[in-house]
Structure 1
Amino acid sequence: MQDRVLETSVDAVIAALEALDREAFGEAMQDLAQATPRSRPDEVAAALTRLAPVLAGLPIGVGGHLAQLAGSMVDFGGTPDLVLPVLVERACEVLEAAARFHALHEKAYGETPSPDDHEAIGLAIERFAEGAATHGLSEVEGQTLIEAWFTADVWVQPVLYLAQRRDVRVALPQRERLVAAVEATREWIGTAGWLHGLLLVLDDEPLIVLHRATGRAFEVTISGIGDNFQLHTLLAAALLDGDDRPSEAEIAAATDGPELEPEGGMIGRVNLVDGEGTWIWNEGRPADIPVYEGARVVVLDPPPYRRSWNTGRPYPLMVPSVTAEQLPSAEAARWMSLVKPAA
């Protein structure tokens, strides 16, 4: 009987949806969440295979929490590709509808309510569902736009969660469409803003890193680094020694340690400069580093002043990778002759 607990939970979720029974759906979702960690990986994979077409057809206002649960179930069995295509498709669909809601609302009524302001839903229904024809919409279209605006965070969250995995980022379906949908909504939808950063993450990206004080040069390959604060720490950890090297607590915070904010904070050890001599600001991302002489170039200079920040990495579940190989002295000298002094 234990072997069928997860299967029975999926049956209950589907039955509740078909019966439009909100209370039964909530109970079935709870049972599914509790059964998943206790089930075999093959059972979880089978459950996800059944849930994928269900997610594809659910109304926006109903399916977001099931999408979240399906995304988290991947940790317990199967592979992301069982649900990733439908989760990305629905996230794109919802974000596109949310962007349309925002544009129509701004044009007709001015400032759009916060997606978190559920007290504003009633007025939105009055304007966009009951008054749909005013905006050239059917009542169903108006209701869909409302649901998209107020539930977009929930629909995007499972994609945000899964995209912290390297295998997901590499195989992400509909990337161009997702980038466009995120770009159109990231100013207002919180999870879209965070997903925007993940879509810019570089994986297996080569850098040329120069240590100006010693003339050493390295070919570095990075993956899974969320911002230049994190890059700063990880380059210092990989390439520097002694007092210039971050503490073990800082390194753990910037990689996969449980404490994202180590006692004493994160301390800047170097100043990052590009090949043109322009500062590489910590607030940016590795993708912002310009290509110079055929490569993204980072020069490590002494810090001009004391810098510190709180958090080691912006995406807690994304595990970074930094590998470095020191270049021969002649190649290092060639690169040193090409880069410009810091501005």
Structure 2
Amino acid sequence: MSDILNAAQAVADDAHKRIRVFSDIPADDVPLFGDTVHGALLRACRNATDDERDAALRALEPIVRTAGSYHVGIIAIVCGTLVEWGGNPAIVASALLDRLTEHVALATVAWLREDNETPERLFERNAEAYGASRTIQFALLATMAIVCRDIPARQYARATPGLVDALEKLVSLEPFVPEADFLLQVLALTDGMNLTILHPETRRGYRVSLEAVGSNFHLFTLLQGALIGDPAQGFLPGTPISAVTMAIAKGEVSPDEDTYDVARFQFYNWFALKPDGTIDGANIASWIWGEGSPADIAPLDGERIVVLGETVLAIRSWSGFFLNIHTALRSDVRVTAQLSDAEVTTYIDRIKAQKAP
């Protein structure tokens, strides 16, 4: 452990060195992870235990908060690598995300410079912008390693003032920064949303929680996988989703070819239920459209309710909805509760008493 902490301290000491002239920043980033303090720390942690990697992350966390723009990007990729190897992403998540908006904005300054402005001139005009431009991809890659493994980190990033706007501005510029676009895609996913699912035909109901769900097509597949099963065990009847399709939808494996799924239900907003308790399948306005997102599902008194009915189209299928943005990202719909018959009846009666929007 002492070797790792000593190596982390060497990284911290290096980060505190003030960059005074253009030549203080290496022309090539590749050697940074060779015979350097950063490379020494990574080598010390490569075969370490997770606890030892966590100790290194805790030692680096305050440096992420205080280092200059060039050094913070370098330290970020070291932290991201330790997370990829098993370190706890929560240790450095807030520190990195607290710096990221400024880092992206500084890199954007560099991207917006005049075509005839050399890197040396940019450094003289704004050394922090030049430093950020050199390490922005490192910072974004490290952020992806963290947010793809940690739901609270994703929620923290979404709540970070100005971060999404800064990323959107950066991706609108040339040269294109794909890592910024990937991060925006991850932050656009739905996490932590709770849905109530009603299947009036069987008087079954469920509460579910969403994790990293993209489009409603993605939601449909995950819902079908979570709810279809043995009716004697409280599940819904229907043809089960294949294990391969579910593994792809959850991000556990990558598709070898275009993967598609077929609707086992028609998915409705709550106001599809008519006063007599039947579903108005012809009311297209009540359909939940697959191209939308779970946030588009209509709430009733603040609660989003999905009503399941028989399919109304001969075959409804979808493809190209699976994420696979990052190998560590996992998507899921978890059943958190099964509703009793009385609870389902209460929901249906409550909906029947409502006036459709």
CA distance in structure 1 between the partners assigned to 2:353 and 2:328 by the alignment: 38
User: Aligned pairs, how many?
Assistant: 313
Q: Tell which deviates more after alignment, 64-73 or 145-154.
A: 145-154
- Secondary structure (helix, strand or coil) at the match of 1:176 reads coil
Residue pair 2:94, 2:156 contacting (<8 A) in 1 also = no
Residue pair 1:129, 1:139 contacting (<8 A) in 2 also = yes
- Secondary structure (helix, strand or coil) at the match of 1:97 reads helix
Shift of the 204–86 alpha-carbon distance from structure 1 to 2, 3 Å rule, reads closer
Residue in 2 aligned with 1:218?
206
Letter in 2 for 1:219: R
Does the alignment pair 1:233 with 2:227? Answer: no
Shift of the 54–280 alpha-carbon distance from structure 1 to 2, 3 Å rule, reads same
CA distance in structure 2 between the partners assigned to 1:174 and 1:217 by the alignment: 32
Q: Give, in angstroms, the shift of residue 11 of structure 1.
A: 5.0
Q: Give, in angstroms, the shift of residue 14 of structure 1.
A: 4.9
- Identity among equivalent positions (%) equals 23
CA distance in structure 1 between the partners assigned to 2:132 and 2:25 by the alignment: 21
Residue pair 1:226, 1:314 contacting (<8 A) in 2 also = no
Shift of the 331–244 alpha-carbon distance from structure 1 to 2, 3 Å rule, reads farther
TM-score by length of 2: 0.70
Q: Hey, which of these two has a bigger chunk of helix by percent?
A: 1
The C-alpha deviation readout for 1:144-199, integer Å capped at 9, x for no partner, is: 43554564333122222212212433555962343443344454543333333433
- Secondary structure (helix, strand or coil) at the match of 2:80 reads helix
Letter in 2 for 1:226: G
Gaps of 5+ in 2: 19-23, 230-236, 272-284
Residue in 1 aligned with 2:304?
296
Aligned residue among 304, 311, 331 for 2:346? 331
Aligned residue among 136, 152, 155 for 1:152? 136
The C-alpha deviation readout for 1:254-284, integer Å capped at 9, x for no partner, is: 2252x23266723132443333534434343
Residue pair 2:61, 2:95 contacting (<8 A) in 1 also = yes
Where in structure 2 are the equivalents of 1:9-28 lying within 5 Å?
Answer: 9-10=7-8, 13-14=11-12, 18=17, 22=26, 25-27=32-34, 28=36
Does the alignment pair 1:169 with 2:154? Answer: yes
Shift of the 311–287 alpha-carbon distance from structure 1 to 2, 3 Å rule, reads closer
Letter in 2 for 1:307: S
TM-score by length of 1: 0.72
CA distance in structure 2 between the partners assigned to 1:340 and 1:237 by the alignment: 32
CA distance in structure 1 between the partners assigned to 2:76 and 2:213 by the alignment: 26
CA distance in structure 2 between the partners assigned to 1:273 and 1:176 by the alignment: 34
Residue in 2 aligned with 1:309?
319
- Secondary structure (helix, strand or coil) at the match of 2:270 reads coil
